[in-house]
Chain A
Amino acid sequence: DADVTQTPRNRITKTGKRIMLECSQTKGHDRMYWYRQDPGLGLRLIYYSFDVKDINKGEISDGYSVSRQAQAKFSLSLESAIPNQTALYFCATSDLAREGQETQYFGPGTRLLVL
């Protein structure tokens, strides 16, 4: 079984709808991240969480919210989806090691289309 899973893998929704993307991990890591990937822009950080009680905004958090339900679960919500949120979304986890040593482990991604 995969260490980092994301559901759904693909989603089509309409403008104005609320949707939730879910991420679960079995790696036992404290740190979890949500990124979006757009062609030509690489990955950009939306939100990150260093433990269950710690949530932080990334560089592009507007229009998104997150919930860290447990160490293993980190959900991303689009409160009112808009077409420019069409993208590939990745969840990632990491474990605190010495600074700079940590490796991030990525889920397979959720492809979201907002019509």
Chain B
Amino acid sequence: AQSVTQLGSHVSVSEGALVLLRCNYSSSVPPYLFWYVQYPNQGLQLLLKYTTGATLVKGINGFEAEFKKSETSFHLTKPSAHMSDAAEYFCAVMPQGAQKLVFGQGTRLTINP
């Protein structure tokens, strides 16, 4: 079965620093890949997604992610963290033909002033 691993349940960075949230998937056939964000007391919202084409995907709020097939990874980055980025981030995959999302366990991002 397809699985998703997010390295680090908690990540803390200083305001203005680089944000790097890691996501690896297990599949011999690359799935469709997503990052969702959950702000406090809210539901999830889509940050970005990779389906086909360019492997560097840009999302909302300055985030981007790069699909690396050789590493089975889809890490999320932002060059400069802002206090408003504090949230929980979920990597998710949709195996081709499955029509269902499989979520990682989430990474809580804390921004220090």
A to B contact number (C-beta, < 8 Å) = 55
Interface flag for A70 (CB, 8 Å): no
A107 to B38, CA, bound (A): 11
Q: Are B99 and A99 in contact (CB under 8 A)?
A: yes
Stretch touching chain B among A38-46, A60-68, A76-84: A38-46
A113 to B42, CA, bound (A): 18
Interface flag for B49 (CB, 8 Å): yes
Q: Are A104 and B51 in contact (CB under 8 A)?
A: no
**Residues of chain B at interface, number, CB under 8 A:** 24
Partner of A44, one of B32, B49, B103: B103
Interface flag for A34 (CB, 8 Å): no
Stretch touching chain A among B14-22, B69-77, B79-87, B90-98: B90-98
B residues near A, CB below 8 A? 4, 9, 31-32, 41-46, 49, 51-52, 90, 94, 96-97, 99-101, 103-106
Q: List 14 A-B contacts (CB under 8 A).
A: A42-B106, A44-B103, A92-B43, A100-B31, A100-B52, A100-B94, A100-B96, A101-B32, A103-B49, A104-B101, A105-B45, A106-B43, A106-B44, A106-B45
